[in-house]
Structure 1
Amino acid sequence: MIDSKPESGPLSQRAVTLGVIATDRSPRSPLPSAGRVLAVGSALPVLVLGGWLLAGLPLLLLGWFRPLPMLLAGGASAVLLCRYGLRRMPEVDGSATAGRTAAVFGIAVASGVFNGIFHGEQLLVRRDPGTYAEYAVWLARHGSLPIPRGDFGGPDPALRFDGMGFYGTDDGILPQFMAGPPMIHAVGDWVAGIPGLLLVPPVLGALAVLTFAGTTARLVGARWAPLAALAFAVSLPVLYTSRTTFSEIPSLILIFGGLSLLADARRRAAADRAGTDRAGAIAAAFSGLAFGLALLVRIDGLRDVLPVLPFAGLLIALNRISRARARAHGRTSGASGFADVDRRLGVPLLGGLAVGALWGLTACYTLAKPYAEYLSGSLKPLLGICAAVLVLTAAGTALAPWIAARRSLRQRVPQRVRRLTRWLPEAAAGLVVLVMAALAVRPWVQTVRRIPISPEDRLTADFIEKTQEAGHLPVDGTRLYYEDSLHWVFWYVGVPAVVLATLAAAVLVRRLARRGELGWLLPLAIIGWTTLTTLWRPGITPDHPWASRRLVPVVIPGLILLAVWGLRWLRARARRSGRRRAGPLVAAAGAVLLVVPAAVTSIGTAFSPVNRGEAAAAAGLCAAIPPNASVLFVERVTGDRFGPLVRGVCGVPAARVDFPPGTSLPLYADVARLIGRVRATGRVPVLLAAEAGQLEPYGTAARVVALRTRQDERSLVDPPDGTWSLSIDVWMTIPRLGVASVTFRPRGDSRSWER
């Protein structure tokens, strides 16, 4: 919703009706206007990303995810989406100037350069970034899944191919996560190997800044886009996830890019009152596609984009009601306010959403099924909610014309109920404030705990206890610290931003309930629904900055977007107060309060790269391993960290040797047997472990990795302000020929062996 009129060009429709500014129809100049440059530039990332993912999944399922097929299919898909998505792109609004547009692009470029300088090198599988990185390396160099186990002389009950971030299946090894981010990060490996892969996240971070600024320009105004871009770019979680291989930044580009495309679709539909131009419908379809593809990037994307389904159903219902009324009056449906502008967008929006979601669900079922089964405790209820929303949306859409035509139903509503509905706008606004207040006081009334009942829960509890000990906190492994989730947001964007966002949400909800405008309905639904569900149950290990990644796809950008709108609203009220300087003072003070608190929190880690040296360590390890080797890890942690790297980066088979419960090392007999089996295939057995003594029974060990670097801090009750040291050693031996190689036969179950 834009208060001020554009600086030049007539409006095709009143801004107060649509909440947007229509395309400037002034004569074309030799150069594109600043508003058009900002509109096109901020829409490009989501269209290119959508085209790449749209073509990438089928090729991956066919085993053809290679540079040439992806260049042809992915490039062509991206070009087609850009060709039709950017055709006659409307300007963002009349307040766009060359300086403001340049500021947005400058902030985006500066963000990419800054994060590129301080990027991380997380290649070892210690947490999710290592899994994503090794997933991307495998796709870049092999182009298919599952990952083969390799040659170890046949199956053996002591061989383990699963581990942290990877599942062993009957067909091979499957990475843990959705395939979208690795398909994007693989481009870097194709271009420049491991160094190129490590620089893809900063590039994506810069594109996220640009995309978010474009959304702000469309929904708030181009005047406010640079401020929003700066406040977003300096937030610590955005810096954190823009420096290594996470999934949150691509998800943000798809979701907020989808909102931008939908805003463009509404403006195009507003300009096409006759309904003859399909540009608005195409933009709505691309918007739905972007929302649906968010599921291909993160499985949580199913929750984030859920409001799109009932919103599309609402548009379809409005269209059906309009057509029914037109038929009843014997005329074609004509202009009827906001409903007429939006109603034509429902079907293409839903169609695009269905296609994107189909891609995501297909990838989940075929490439991430073990991961989905692991998350079944939370995924099944979410799928149930989605199914219920789908049924209610379908029923409401089908019955909408019948309900609208039954005036008797409205006449039967008691007068007392009618009077109560008059208070609905104020009640809705008050509810927004109450919810945020409840989240703010939650730490004083609730302590969130989880009693460990599974091996994964026990590992998490053990991790929390060790982190508590390191931070000199009371040791309680059942604590999850989720009650502090809104205070996490206070750390990363500042209390003023949250207050402004709450004010803006309350005002916008009140306007929606009173006037029924649709311009902010979907953005508010996505931001409100995802913020509430994320803050109530973040679903992540609560150490920081690690846990801050949960806030990146929607919560932080959504609150900044609302905060900027709230600042604009306060500035407008101050200007109407009659004091000449009140408006600029409010804007300046608000800008400082939006940027400074976030920057103060970020400054502690912004100039501290983590995991530097892992790329060199990986190269050294690969150089030490013979090219015809089969690697056996005789220690669990080293196997978890380096097994995927040995397979993907070094290109040789790798497996971990299982060990009896209650111990940390495998049986000598198991290792000796596997050494003999590897030798029988003509390959060279190589043993790796964390300490030289663990390899002593098999041969003389040499240290092949001596990594000394810094890692992320693990803070539970305060914002992170530094890094921790990290030391990792790997020792290697090629077993001497004298190692016993005895024959064993099974006894009882297949995991017990005797001579």
Structure 2
Amino acid sequence: MALTDPSRRPSAGRVLAVLSVVPALLVAGWLLAGLPLLLLGWFRPLVAVPLGIAVAGALCVAALRRLPETADATGWQTGGVLAVALGSGVFNALLHSEQLIVRRDPATYAQYAIWIAEHGSLPVDRQEAAFGGADPALDFGSVGFYDRPEGVVPQFMPGPPMVFAAGEWLGGLLVSPAVLGALAVLVVAGVAARMGGGRWAVPTALAFAVSLPVLYTSRTTLSEITSLILLFGGVALLHDAHTAGGRGSPGRVALAGLVAGLAVLVRVDGLRDVLPVLAYAGFLIALGRTRGGAPAGAGARGGAVRGGPGRLGLALLGGLAVGAGLGFVAAAVLARPYLSYLSRSVVPLLAVCAAVLLLTVLGAALAPRLARWRRPAFLPAAGAAAVVAVMLGFAVRPWVQQVTRQPVTEEDWLTYRFIEVTQRDNGLPIDGSHLYFENSLYWVIWYIGFPAVVLATLAAAVLVRRMLRDGASAEWLLPLALIGWTTVTTLLRPEITPDHPWASRRLVPVVLPGLLLLAFWGLAWVRDKARRLGYGRRAQGWIAGVGVVLLLVPGAITSIGTAFTPVERGERAAVEAMCAAIPPRASVLLVERVTGDRFTQVVRGVCGAPSAQVRRAESTDTPPEADVRRLIAKIRAAGRVPVLLAAQPGQLTAYGPPRQVLALRTRQDERSLVKPPDGVWSLSATVWMALPA
């Protein structure tokens, strides 16, 4: 029955199913419309907004038309999910951070979004004419922004800044992460309802929403929540396509692949995360080449799919290729310096992708022959044991390995020195090469609790055993592959500076929501096992109730130390005051290292004034006075007003009387290396300005 059928009110389960995929469709539609406009330099609200609405609307029609019952939920359960999502959004919006001064990634994303929202194009204009033309002493780059001959190129993939730019147009850039976080709660709850039933949707949503990494990434401009929406939205769409059956399924499957593939446009790591989707597409193609194949994941309500699993596999592969291909285009055109910076990680990742693609092609080609292979009787038990062994390996890892990296590049040395400083603050032995990655499983335990990890491991082992034994629980094949692959690879090499809550963001796109989904499914399995063993309803109720408490409380306890404390508040007002102090027709020279790193793009993007650092020797904080005076003269000759910024008044007195234009006293996130964060640290920033006489 069509969703628009006036003769029948939509069921609560159908409402939840729709609401939990709409976020992914909206994000996907916005990215599909926005990327070509950004590449053409036309990313303007008058063009992007109507086009984005049209594309997102078309995706919603394609995905939701004649959608059957794909989620099992009552009115109370659907209402509970909506309440959790709304509460999450309001709570995080009220406590959102204001990271505009570029110290770490959130402010880089914010400044990236501000620039494209205001100018609609990349790269960032260096505005050399405002400084009297090119000069070897001028450096237009800063932290998160690469100075290149064609202009200043922002770090990171363009997907998240395009999403945040919509928030900037609406006057809510800094609260847009909270909106995305609320949408992510809906998506995770929808997948939980599809995979385990509506009774588990609300507790899964709540456990996810109160986890500290989710609170953290829902309050500041980062990429992880957007990636989660696309990946798990793709999983939900694929589940719905399998369940729907009929003529429209290949199109729905292609749409699921497209949505998941767009995760590459959001994060470079998205390429790794979507590899299970590629393998699953190959599996469907292989299944179509064997006799009697049925589409994995088709539920009892699904019926036959026209064209069979082979057609579904090709559709999924096509959608994935388009989505990921757009990510590759964006990376090559808009983020090439960033890829060069990540080359030591990207090159091995591309090799892994090539290997997975080769194995997928070989598997599809050899499918008829492989279908005749008799599975060993021990394989189901061995598969389940392997799941447990992997998790036990991560558990004992800190006692058998200390992950280190000796610095080679300049970026390595920056990380090395940062870790040394953080170790001193934490009272730990000083060793800047220590990355603490061996503790990665314990990071997960901090944020969702030991019971959740145990139940998730149990669930994964049971599901693997079922699939290898007789193909049961096939609807879990892709979700389990996605969760398992990304969890193992992320825990093995998180590849992030290891202070918390900073490093916790690595767990957000897949690891935490995936393990929570498995944990609640595992709890349902334990409850059902008790029923089959003859325990009564009361005992089953106690098992479910105690289990839910054990899955909710540990994460909430970890979060409580920082959940009600906003960080970096006051930055917007401080930056606006600084901008107001800069005179008209100013060309701003930043003549001190820290000020240049933090404020070059802020002055250019927020204040709207041309800005550049003056190059200095590597071991010094300020540039040669002769270079500064030459640039001052060139700015005047260009008919503009020279303005100098620095961190301390003494760094400016040689050029003119200094005046303080920014004095910020606020709080920042803790930097904890060996325990979960439970507080915040102080943060100060000052900027002084001089107008040369």
- Shorter-normalised TM-score: what interval? over 0.9
**Alpha-carbon deviation of 1:461?**
0.9
Alpha-carbon distance between aligned partners in 2 of 1:82 and 1:451, rounded to the nearest angstrom: 49
Which residue of structure 2 aligns with residue 67 of structure 1?
Answer: 45
SS at match of 1:459: helix
Residue range with higher mean Cα deviation, 219-228 or 575-584: 575-584
**Alpha-carbon deviation of 1:319?**
1.6
Which residue of structure 2 aligns with residue 190 of structure 1?
Answer: 169
Q: Runs (4+) of structure 1 moved beyond 3 Å?
A: 27-30, 322-325, 335-344, 401-404
1:358 is aligned to 2:328? no
Matches within 5 A, 1:615-694: 615-694=572-651
SS at match of 1:480: coil
Matches within 5 A, 1:224-623: 224-269=200-245, 272=246, 277-278=247-248, 280-322=249-291, 342-401=309-368, 404=371, 410=373, 421-517=376-472, 518-580=474-536, 581-623=538-580
Alpha-carbon distance between aligned partners in 2 of 1:39 and 1:191, rounded to the nearest angstrom: 28
Letter in 2 for 1:97: T
Indicate which of 163, 183, 193 corresponds to 2:142: 163
**Alpha-carbon deviation of 1:475?**
1.1
Q: Deviations over 1:578-602 (max 9, x none)?
A: 2221211110011000100000000
Alpha-carbon distance between aligned partners in 1 of 2:499 and 2:333, rounded to the nearest angstrom: 32
Which residue of structure 2 aligns with residue 39 of structure 1?
Answer: 17
**Alpha-carbon deviation of 1:307?**
1.0
Alpha-carbon distance between aligned partners in 1 of 2:526 and 2:369, rounded to the nearest angstrom: 43
Alpha-carbon distance between aligned partners in 2 of 1:658 and 1:298, rounded to the nearest angstrom: 31
Alpha-carbon distance between aligned partners in 2 of 1:282 and 1:337, rounded to the nearest angstrom: 15
Which residue of structure 1 aligns with residue 298 of structure 2?
Answer: none
Letter in 2 for 1:523: P
**Alpha-carbon deviation of 1:513?**
0.6
Which residue of structure 2 aligns with residue 7 of structure 1?
Answer: none
Alpha-carbon distance between aligned partners in 2 of 1:343 and 1:256, rounded to the nearest angstrom: 23
Which residue of structure 1 aligns with residue 95 of structure 2?
Answer: 118
Which residue of structure 2 aligns with residue 16 of structure 1?
Answer: none
Q: Deviations over 1:332-370 (max 9, x none)?
A: xxx999998644421111111010011100000000000
Could you say if the C-alpha distance between residues 513 and 337 of structure 1 is closer, same or farther in structure 2, counting changes exceeding 3 Å? Answer: farther
Unaligned 5+ segments in structure 2 are 295-301
Residue range with higher mean Cα deviation, 432-441 or 392-401: 392-401
Indicate which of 23, 48, 52 corresponds to 2:26: 48
Whether contact under 8 Å (2:153, 2:334) holds in the other structure is: yes
Alpha-carbon distance between aligned partners in 2 of 1:125 and 1:109, rounded to the nearest angstrom: 30
Whether contact under 8 Å (2:288, 2:308) holds in the other structure is: no
Could you say if the C-alpha distance between residues 70 and 443 of structure 1 is closer, same or farther in structure 2, counting changes exceeding 3 Å? Answer: same
**Alpha-carbon deviation of 1:676?**
0.6
SS at match of 2:29: helix
Whether contact under 8 Å (2:71, 2:190) holds in the other structure is: no
Could you say if the C-alpha distance between residues 378 and 579 of structure 1 is closer, same or farther in structure 2, counting changes exceeding 3 Å? Answer: same
Unaligned 5+ segments in structure 1 are 1-22, 326-334, 411-417, 737-755
Residue range with higher mean Cα deviation, 341-350 or 69-78: 341-350
Letter in 2 for 1:239: L
SS at match of 1:664: coil
Letter in 2 for 1:698: Y
**Alpha-carbon deviation of 1:30?**
3.7
Whether contact under 8 Å (1:167, 1:174) holds in the other structure is: yes
Which residue of structure 2 aligns with residue 697 of structure 1?
Answer: 654
Which residue of structure 1 aligns with residue 56 of structure 2?
Answer: 78
Alpha-carbon distance between aligned partners in 1 of 2:155 and 2:192, rounded to the nearest angstrom: 34
Which residue of structure 1 aligns with residue 299 of structure 2?
Answer: none
SS at match of 1:307: helix
Whether contact under 8 Å (2:293, 2:309) holds in the other structure is: no
1:205 is aligned to 2:181? yes
Letter in 2 for 1:526: L
Which residue of structure 1 aligns with residue 160 of structure 2?
Answer: 181
**Alpha-carbon deviation of 1:732?**
0.3
SS at match of 1:70: helix
Q: Deviations over 1:654-706 (max 9, x none)?
A: 10001123221100000000101111111111100000000010000100000
**Alpha-carbon deviation of 1:726?**
0.5
Letter in 1 for 2:401: Q
Alpha-carbon distance between aligned partners in 2 of 1:667 and 1:633, rounded to the nearest angstrom: 13
Q: Over the residues paired in the alignment, what is the CA RMSD in angstroms?
A: 1.9
**Alpha-carbon deviation of 1:154?**
1.1
Alpha-carbon distance between aligned partners in 2 of 1:626 and 1:499, rounded to the nearest angstrom: 61
Alpha-carbon distance between aligned partners in 2 of 1:539 and 1:203, rounded to the nearest angstrom: 27
Alpha-carbon distance between aligned partners in 2 of 1:338 and 1:508, rounded to the nearest angstrom: 24
**Alpha-carbon deviation of 1:471?**
1.2
Whether contact under 8 Å (2:2, 2:66) holds in the other structure is: no
Whether contact under 8 Å (1:92, 1:221) holds in the other structure is: no
Q: Percent identity?
A: 62
Whether contact under 8 Å (2:17, 2:71) holds in the other structure is: no
Alpha-carbon distance between aligned partners in 1 of 2:252 and 2:192, rounded to the nearest angstrom: 18
**Alpha-carbon deviation of 1:35?**
0.8
1:108 is aligned to 2:85? yes
SS at match of 1:451: coil
Whether contact under 8 Å (2:567, 2:669) holds in the other structure is: yes
SS at match of 1:651: coil
1:140 is aligned to 2:117? yes
Alpha-carbon distance between aligned partners in 1 of 2:457 and 2:60, rounded to the nearest angstrom: 35
**Alpha-carbon deviation of 1:257?**
0.4
Letter in 2 for 1:319: G
Which residue of structure 2 aligns with residue 91 of structure 1?
Answer: 69
Q: Deviations over 1:530-583 (max 9, x none)?
A: 000100110000000000000000000000000010000001111222222121
Residue range with higher mean Cα deviation, 702-711 or 340-349: 340-349
Letter in 2 for 1:198: L
Alpha-carbon distance between aligned partners in 2 of 1:649 and 1:97, rounded to the nearest angstrom: 48
Whether contact under 8 Å (1:56, 1:74) holds in the other structure is: yes
Letter in 1 for 2:633: G
Residue range with higher mean Cα deviation, 234-243 or 520-529: 520-529
Normalising by structure 1, report the TM-score.
0.88
Letter in 2 for 1:573: K
**Alpha-carbon deviation of 1:29?**
5.4
